[in-house]
Amino acid sequence: MVLPVIILILGICLQAVSALGTQLSNASLARQAAHELARGVDSALVTRALHAANSKVLFSQSVESDVICVTLQQNVGPGPLEWIVPEIRVRECVLDAH
């Protein structure tokens, strides 16, 4: 009776470590994309570069006065953590260089 619970908890922990790594790399990608967009790089090029780095990520951008924000979303994938946290979302904003 206890063994399935231990396996479930271990699965959640392992998937949480993987999700944390994904969140950190997506935060870095979002920050880099926001900097590129602030410098005036075409958004199609930025989108292609993001999908080359991580093909599972959904990209969106917004401009709020003089700030450019990039949001990246990605599902955590199948597993027990999906019941608790179904997606990873990061948002990075930088000042527009124009």
Of the candidate ranges 54-58, 71-75, 82-86, the one whose mean pLDDT is the lowest:
82-86
Summary mean pLDDT of the chain: 91
Q: Which domain holds residue 40?
A: 2-95
How far apart (Å, rounded) are the C-alpha atoms in residues 14 and 21? 11
Contacts of 22 (CB under 8 A, 6+ apart): 74, 76, 88
Assessment of whether the complete model's pTM goes beyond 0.75: yes
The total of structural domains in the chain comes to 1
Note the pLDDT tens digit of each residue in 34-61.
Answer: 999 999 999 999 999 999 999 999 999 9
Per-residue model confidence (pLDDT) at position 83: 83
70, 38 in Cβ contact below 8 A? no
Amino acid 20: pLDDT: 92
Residue-wise pLDDT tens digits, 8-26: 899 889 888 999 999 999 9
What's the pLDDT at 64?
A: 85
Question: What pLDDT score does 31 carry?
Answer: 95
